[in-house]
């Protein structure tokens, strides 16, 4: 089965990298290669691109790129430092992250990411390893399930949903997306117009199973440490939890931090390691009309300064 994948904020995210023809760049989320191909098209013969992805289908797609300047790593971007060391790369000129789940993953019902299809309750981005959503939901206690749905899905009926899941699995083990969606629908009393009652729960379970927020928190300091002066971070987030982590990291790294009451003039304050570039960028009305999933996307860009970490 083939799927149409529209890369969100394609030009804006790559432009944010301020590409140098002979630079070394990282695409931390290859997906179906939209950003990677756009980067390669602008690199010179000495340029290099290293891409990461957990998804075996993404790795298969990356295998169709025969460009010698391109390297694909079958792992999450949280392994950035380790992977770069293995490749003999000490520093890079830019890191691009396109966070969240890709359109092909959502549109492939067999992956279990979406309640729009009846499919095995998997939700793993890397289907070769790790616990499935079904395995976790059938064994976790009600308190843990409620916390995940509350914290990662921002679901105000988290306790009721967790209780319904635990009660439902007592009658029959959870194995399909349709089972989970039906249990959630009974527990969620109200929902925003146009939003399925299961939306927040599916998002929360997916984020938890794939450790998405933990891995994002791990990659940011690694990326900063590997950037050359003038190198860029270009990061697209799709929901508030991701964007909050990115925003707070960039803001913290772009400010000088000194002990209180230390007698220093403003000119003597240390230079922070990051400089925020421009304002956050959102998809245009035209892009959202063509690709509704772009409506929540937000791009933030920051540049490495000369300051030591």
Residue 266 — very low, low, confident or very high, per pLDDT cuts 50/70/90?
A: low
HSE toward the beta carbon, residue 116, CA cutoff 13 A: 8
- The pLDDT of residue 180 is above 60: yes
Q: Where are the beta strands (DSSP E) in the chain?
A: 24-27, 48-53, 70-74, 92-98, 227-237, 274-276, 281-282, 298-304
Crossing angle of helices 240-253 and 212-226, rounded to 10°: 30
HSE toward the beta carbon, residue 139, CA cutoff 13 A: 6
pLDDT (mean) for 101-109? 65
Closest CA to 83 of 275, 272, 201, 223: 223
33 is in an annotated binding site: yes
34 is in an annotated binding site: yes
The pairing of beta strand 281-282 with beta strand 92-98:
unpaired
Neighbours of 36 (CB within 10 A): 27
pLDDT digit string, tens, across residues 206-243 = 999 999 999 999 999 999 999 999 999 999 999 999 99
SS3 149: helix
Tell me the average pLDDT of the chain. Answer: 91
HSE toward the beta carbon, residue 14, CA cutoff 13 A: 18
What's the CA gap between 17 and 98, in Å, rounded? 13
What's the CA gap between 248 and 148, in Å, rounded? 22
Residue 2 — very low, low, confident or very high, per pLDDT cuts 50/70/90?
A: very low
Contact 307, 20 (CB under 8 A): no
118 is in an annotated binding site: no
pLDDT (mean) for 74-82? 97
28 is in an annotated binding site: no
What pLDDT shows up at residue 8?
87
Contact 124, 56 (CB under 8 A): no
pLDDT digit string, tens, across residues 185-208 = 999 977 777 678 999 999 999 999
160 is in an annotated binding site: no
Centroid of chain to Cα 12:
17
What's the CA gap between 309 and 305, in Å, rounded? 10
The tokens describing 132, both together, are 């499935």
Share of the chain residues as helix, strand and coil, in percent rounded to the nearest 5:
45, 15, 40
- The pLDDT of residue 1 is above 50: no
Contact 166, 142 (CB under 8 A): yes
Residue 292 — very low, low, confident or very high, per pLDDT cuts 50/70/90?
A: confident
Task: Give the CA distances from residue 104 to residues 7, 127, 214, in Å, rounded to whole numbers and listed in that order.
Answer: 11, 14, 23
Contact 133, 206 (CB under 8 A): yes
| pTM greater than 0.85 | yes
């Amino acid at each position: 089965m083939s799927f149409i994948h529209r890369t969100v904020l394609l030009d804006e995210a790559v432009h944010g990298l301020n590409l140098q023809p002979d630079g070394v760049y990282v695409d931390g989320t290859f997906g179906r290669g939209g950003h990677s191909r756009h980067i390669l098209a602008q690199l010179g013969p000495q340029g290099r691109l290293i891409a990461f992805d957990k998804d075996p289908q993404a790795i298969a797609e990356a295998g169709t790129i025969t460009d010698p300047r391109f390297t694909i790593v079958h792992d999450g971007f949280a392994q950035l430092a380790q992977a770069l060391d293995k490749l003999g790369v000490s520093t890079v000129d830019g890191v691009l992250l396109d966070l969240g789940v890709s359109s092909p993953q959502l549109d492939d019902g067999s992956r279990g990411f979406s309640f729009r299809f009846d499919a095995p309750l998997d939700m793993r981005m890397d289907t070769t390893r790790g616990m499935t959503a079904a395995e976790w939901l059938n064994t976790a206690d009600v308190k843990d399930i409620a916390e995940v749905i509350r914290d990662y899905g921002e679901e105000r009926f988290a306790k009721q949903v967790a209780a319904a899941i635990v009660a439902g699995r007592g009658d029959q083990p959870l194995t399909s997306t349709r089972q989970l969606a039906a249990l959630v629908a009974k527990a969620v009393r109200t929902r925003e117009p146009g939003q399925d009652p299961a939306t927040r729960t599916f998002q929360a379970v997916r984020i938890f199973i794939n450790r998405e927020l933990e891995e994002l928190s791990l990659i940011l300091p690694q990326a900063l440490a590997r950037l050359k002066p003038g190198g860029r971070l270009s990061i697209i987030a799709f929901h508030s939890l991701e964007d909050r982590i990115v925003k707070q990291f960039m803001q913290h790294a772009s400010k000088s931090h000194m002990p209180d009451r230390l007698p220093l003039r403003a000119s003597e304050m240390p230079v922070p390691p990051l400089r925020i570039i421009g304002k956050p960028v959102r998809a245009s009305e035209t892009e959202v009309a063509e690709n509704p999933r772009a409506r929540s996307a937000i791009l933030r860009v920051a540049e490495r300064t000369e300051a030591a970490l």
